[in-house]
């Protein structure tokens, strides 16, 4: 299992609303994440809107993203979340993968 860390930026003026939507992620989106191999998926937020994401997968970040991109629900979710981004793009198009350099079990 690979550990994947990534970051992206949410607009600071939309943070509260962005977090609220993640309290009620659509059931079909949650199912798609599980079905495409996203395990232990966690999001962390800084007050300025920088998001750190973490998940475990058998695949690379690019492969995991491609599997999700093939689902209809992901397209709907990404389009819905796009207005929250600090870039003119869908959230999944702005992920910057981080290098894992230390782990303690």
Beta pairing partners, 43: 53
Q: Extract the runs of DSSP E, i.e. beta strands, from 25-91.
A: 39-45, 50-57
Nearest-angstrom CA–CA distance, 51 and 72: 24
- Is 103 a residue of the active site? no
Task: Please pick, among 21, 22, 39, 103, the residue that the annotation labels catalytic.
Answer: 22
The residues assigned a catalytic role are 22
């Amino acid at each position: 299992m690979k550990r994947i860390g990534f970051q992206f930026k949410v607009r600071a003026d939309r943070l509260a609303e962005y977090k609220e939507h993640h309290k009620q992620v659509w059931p079909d989106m949650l199912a798609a994440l599980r079905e495409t191999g996203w395990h232990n998926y966690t999001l962390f937020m800084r007050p300025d809107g920088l998001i750190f994401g973490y998940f475990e997968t058998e695949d690379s970040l690019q492969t995991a993203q491609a599997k999700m991109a093939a689902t209809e629900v992901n397209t709907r979710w990404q389009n819905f979340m796009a207005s929250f981004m600090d870039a003119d793009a869908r959230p999944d198009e702005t992920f910057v993968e981080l290098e894992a350099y230390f782990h303690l079990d």
